Structure 1
Amino acid sequence: MFYRLTRKGFFALTLTLLLMIAVSSMFLTKASADTTLGSAAAAKGRVFGTAVANNHLSESQYASTLDTEFTGVTPENEMKWDTTESSQGSFNFSSADAIVSHAQSHNMKIRGHTLVWYSQLPSWVSNISSSSTLLQVMNNHITTEMNHFKGKIWYWDVVNEAFNDDGSRRSTNNVFQQKIGNSYIEQAFITAHAADPNAKLCYNDYNTDGINAKSNAILAMVQDFKSRGIPIDCVGFQSHLIVGQVPSDYQANLQRFANAGVDVQITELDIRMPTPASSANLQQQATDYSKVVSACVAVSRCNDITVWGITDKYSWVPNTFSGQGAALLFDDNYNKKPAYNAVIQALGSGTGITPTPTSSNPTPTPTSAITPTPTSTGGASCSVHYAITNQWNTGFGATITITNTGSTAINGWNLQFTFPNGQTITQLWNGSVTQNGSAVTVTNASYNGSIPAGGSPGAQPGFNGSWSGSNSAPTAFTLNGAACSVV
């Protein structure tokens, strides 16, 4: 049957359709505006969590941001040994219980962190001299804490930071390695499984984000455990990163662990930068966060992304790395940073922001494949600032800031210097490196060979290295054969 619309009826129908479109648009806009980190991650079947400090939960903005944005929590210090068993056999879980209760009331997943770690130990544990006594004490601590939280914890970090960067077992200041030996890790996992057969058990560590000696050693341990039936369910990648330095093989590294039969989780993510934060670094940070989140989304067994804190206001970074900070998704005033929007986009699309050529740690490009041809700087028309950004037992990280102080652009460059104490570069980004003894040559990558007059490369080189004895900075640099001033 056909109906003929009058002019009045036509206008009425048109108005109705326009109203329906407007209402639909309003709801779509509201849904977009209401997207949070947790809801965006949930849409991809993942948890988006944060480290939480119990003493900050009384701050209304801290608690409201936690409750609105996140679907998982990790107690920052409240489950560690020095808090839970400061005196032998005397356990105190009150602070951890407060976090667990808050998380449960908001339907959040809870990560247990951490049962066995060489750091934040009470002195009575560190002073145990008998291997059998220490093993008994370790097993009792694991069993008691896991029994207390049984049925409440999503994943447990059973052992934390047991490897050195070169892939060897950490023994310095590690009483468990010193007294029990390599077997303490598997013993911890066996005990944890016996305490709660339904709990998911993880190994957690830092500087494992790319394919390197440390992550290779941990992968070998996982494969060994799997082959011998030692219970292990996941590996946590802390991902305390530096802006512009996300490893290019981050996703490939996660995938190879997943292929070994364990879940993979990003457990302590933050991306620090020099402070005060520049606009360029905030944008690079957004790209870096996007790259990390996109890598997790691309790996089916990556089911958790946890940032190490809600707001820059309470971040651990400034107190640990002088002059560094602004590492989280919310600034000191709880304002969302560009990285927040990048994470939402990465979770929403599954691919995130396409990394720009300034993303870090590219696979070193052979010198013969570099397009720009180095040209003379025309004399001492450059300056170099060398800065050690982090240093630990036998390793360190450093950045090199190159500035073209001349009036002519440089198209293609190589930087030469000599280490004064025999240091060795183990991993370099934003360039390629050759080292002959102490003599080092760093050559630009394909994307940062141009240095404008008065400017710097689009991505500055940086590296991780090893040292022993002393770690003094180089005192002289040449760029394309011309001496640079050291600043």
Structure 2
Amino acid sequence: MRADPPGLNRRALLAAPLILAPSSLAACERFASAEVAPGPDAPPLKSLADFPIGATGMTGQLDDPVWVAAMRRDVDQITPEWELKPERILQPGFAYDFSASDRMVDWGHEQGLRVFGHTLVWYSQGLDQFTDALPTARFAAEFDRYVSTVAGRYRGRMVGWDVVNEAVAEDGDGLRDCVYARKLGPEAYIVRAFEQARAADPDAVLFLNDYNLENNPRKGATFLRLVERLLAQGAPIGGIGTQSHLDIEIPAGQIRDFFRDAASLGLPIHVSELDFPMQRDGGRAPDLRSTADRRAQQVARVGELAEAFMALPARQRFAFTTWGLRDSDSWLVREEGKNRPNESALLLDGEGRPNPAFQAVAGAFGR
């Protein structure tokens, strides 16, 4: 159920610089010394919290008995990682293929898991069909049909949907330029998508989802102001999704600052795609620090995220989802992803044993 739209008087707060007390900074760093929980005796992830713990999955993993056992043990919510994206469902001529998504959703329910839908509209997908050359009236009609058909197919079976994904510009300077914004309006396409999704699946919680909200304070503030404007326009936004692909070099306290501001909107918050790579992306100087130093910083940031999530009122803790369950499941290690076979960016290692960040999360969750 969506919260009532909040007042619009927080824009000045969101635009203002945030100051963190030295004592708070020190508290953020205490996770850096967290130790690894005993591997064989580590409790299931889902036992750590009284809110859902989720992970992603794909059809290729459903026939892997080790992965299936790990999912049954550790999580109570699943997000199809690829099968519900437009690039999988939308076919030439605006035809649809639900074979993969049906399999994922059916499997999740067979396992007794909550199923979360990702994603209905994404600026980077559907571009072979949704083009600038398509007449606007046809574009709008097909847009409405896609959102309503996909959401309606799983009516009553999804706990929530990422309705629009990554609407804010990369640097946080306004909204992203994309074909949906150009054809339907920069905010109008978002409102339209939420309205179609609400009509098609009225009981699902509808999310606006984005990334780098903790990493980039400017983008985080732009995102929250966008949510306020959309709510004022009547968009049935029911929750905020923060992907939380954490840069372990985020300054201490910055994650908590974002969650503090996000919480004031009163909406449920979903940590929707958590991972925390140890390797830097391109464009930055090589990281010559020791693995131990990078692990310590990684643990500190993940611990801060878990604490910030726990500081939310209970009704705002929608779910805590990792993008992959074990290190070996991560998109970061796959060739079509970042192709980093030695990356370790999740709570469990390739054997399902706890990584160092596991204990920080367990400690923050009070288990």
Gaps of 5+ in 1: 1-31, 350-487
RMSD of aligned alpha carbons: 2.4
Matching of residue 282 in structure 1 with residue 290 in structure 2: no
Residues 345-369 of structure 1: CA deviation (Å, up to 9, x unaligned): 22125xxxxxxxxxxxxxxxxxxxx
Matching of residue 155 in structure 1 with residue 153 in structure 2: no
Gaps of 5+ in 2: 1-39, 281-286
Partner of 1:41: 49
The 1-side partners of 2:216 and 2:350 are apart by 34
Q: Decide which structure has the larger Cα Rg and report it.
A: 1
Counterpart contact for 2:53–2:77, Cα < 8 Å: yes
Letter in 1 for 2:174: S
Could you tell me how far 1:228 is from its partner in structure 2?
A: 3.1
What is the TM-score when the length of structure 2 is the normalising length?
0.79
Partner of 1:327: 345
Matching of residue 87 in structure 1 with residue 92 in structure 2: yes
Counterpart contact for 1:50–1:308, Cα < 8 Å: yes
Counterpart contact for 1:159–1:204, Cα < 8 Å: yes
Could you tell me how far 1:54 is from its partner in structure 2?
A: 1.4
Q: How does 1:262-277 map to 2 (within 5 A)?
A: 262-274=267-279
SS in structure 1 of the partner of residue 130 of structure 2: helix
Counterpart contact for 1:49–1:74, Cα < 8 Å: yes
The 1-side partners of 2:355 and 2:160 are apart by 29
Which of 178, 181, 184 pairs up with 1:180? 184
Counterpart contact for 1:211–1:253, Cα < 8 Å: no
Going from structure 1 to structure 2, the CA distance change for 1:53 and 1:151 (only over 3 Å counts) comes to: same
Partner of 2:326: 311
What's the % identity of the aligned pairs?
Answer: 28
Which of 152, 166, 169 pairs up with 2:172? 166
Partner of 1:213: 218
What is the TM-score when the length of structure 1 is the normalising length?
0.60
Could you tell me how far 1:212 is from its partner in structure 2?
A: 2.1
SS in structure 1 of the partner of residue 95 of structure 2: coil
The structure with the greater share of residues assigned to helix is: 2
The 1-side partners of 2:343 and 2:192 are apart by 37
The 1-side partners of 2:264 and 2:319 are apart by 17
Going from structure 1 to structure 2, the CA distance change for 1:138 and 1:67 (only over 3 Å counts) comes to: same
Could you tell me how far 1:124 is from its partner in structure 2?
A: 2.0
Could you tell me how far 1:246 is from its partner in structure 2?
A: 5.9
The 2-side partners of 1:122 and 1:162 are apart by 15
Letter in 2 for 1:339: A
The 1-side partners of 2:279 and 2:94 are apart by 44
Going from structure 1 to structure 2, the CA distance change for 1:99 and 1:206 (only over 3 Å counts) comes to: same
Partner of 2:141: 136
Partner of 1:451: none
Partner of 1:238: 243
Which of 61, 64, 68 pairs up with 1:59? 64
The structure with the greater share of residues assigned to strand is: 1
Letter in 2 for 1:329: L
Q: How does 1:65-464 map to 2 (within 5 A)?
A: 65-121=70-126, 123-126=128-131, 128-164=133-169, 165-171=171-177, 174-182=178-186, 183-209=188-214, 212-245=217-250, 248-274=253-279, 278-300=291-313, 301-318=316-333, 319=335, 320-321=337-338, 325-348=343-366
SS in structure 2 of the partner of residue 292 of structure 1: helix
Counterpart contact for 1:166–1:213, Cα < 8 Å: yes
Counterpart contact for 1:143–1:195, Cα < 8 Å: yes
